[in-house]
Amino acid sequence: MPKFHADQQARTRLDQARRLLAIAQTGLHYTTGAFDRERYEEIAAIAYSQIAELASMDTGKVAELFSFESGYANPKLDVRCAIFDEVGRILLVREAADGLWSIPGGWADVGLSPAANAAKEAREESGYTVHIERLLAVWDMNKHAHPPSAFHIWKLVFLGTTESAGAIVGSETDKVGFFSLQDLPSLSLGRILPEQIRRLAELYRAGGVDFD
């Protein structure tokens, strides 16, 4: 079987496993019967095993990740900020976890709007205080060539302009810089893809919003 087809098949199976887990999670939230709870827990255990296999993770680690998830199952929200300088270079931060580069961002925090989350992440990870100009993209990571993830993730990317520079806050990133689109460093592909950066640059220049 060609690798492309094998990859597509694995992505389909991973999506099915996440859907199965979402059904189990939602069922556990609403059920009041002991018998139903037992069956939903069994479905969740099957889904953990499938996700672990397809995402190359340990089953126990998958179960640990989802132990914090309760209630009606929803996609997780990753909010990021694209910042360009006057010559069109994009600001990237180096992730301390893997030594690879991404645009600043992370999980959305409760109590902040999406735009406020993007500005906060930019300041913490790059040191730059930014003004959020507009929304650039809303992407479903399932529809892009990211490495397999245990979670179903939606990515919101906002355009930001720098207002002032400062020091990196926290320990998630350890370096920051502006890079030309023709000379990008090694990217953290679970966070951002080269083709997504190129698309963001197009949207920055031409306007509009890209969405899945």
Kindly tell me if the per-residue pLDDT of 209 is higher than 50.
Answer: yes
209 CA to centre of own chain:
18
- Coil, strand or helix: which one is 63? helix
Q: Using a pLDDT cut of 70, give the percent of the chain over it.
A: 97
Predicted pLDDT of residue 107:
94
* pTM score: 0.79
135: Cβ–Cβ under 8 A, 6 or more apart, which residues? 114, 115, 156, 157, 158, 159, 209
Predicted pLDDT of residue 3:
40
> Following DSSP, what letter does each residue of 130-172 receive, concatenated?
EEEEEEEEEEEGGGTTPPP-SS-EEEEEEEEEEEE-----SSS
Q: How does pLDDT run across 178-201, given as a tens digit for each residue?
A: 999 999 999 999 999 999 999 999
- Coil, strand or helix: which one is 89? coil
Confidence tier at 204 by pLDDT (50, 70, 90):
very high
Q: Which residues of 156-179 are buried (b: 16+ CB within 10 A; e: fewer)?
A: bbbbbebeeeeebeeebbeebeee
Q: From CA 44, how far away is CA 28, in angstroms rounded? A: 10
What is the pLDDT averaged over residues 55-69?
86
The most confident of the ranges 17-31, 48-62, 82-96 is 82-96
Predicted pLDDT of residue 6:
52
Confidence tier at 29 by pLDDT (50, 70, 90):
confident
Q: pLDDT higher for 77 or 61?
A: 77
What is the pLDDT averaged over residues 158-182?
94
Predicted pLDDT of residue 131:
98
Q: Using a pLDDT cut of 90, give the percent of the chain over it.
A: 67
- Coil, strand or helix: which one is 199? helix
What is the pLDDT averaged over residues 133-162?
95
Q: What is the dihedral sign for C-alpha 11, 13, 16, 20?
A: negative
Average pLDDT score over the chain: 91
Kindly tell me if the per-residue pLDDT of 4 is higher than 80.
Answer: no
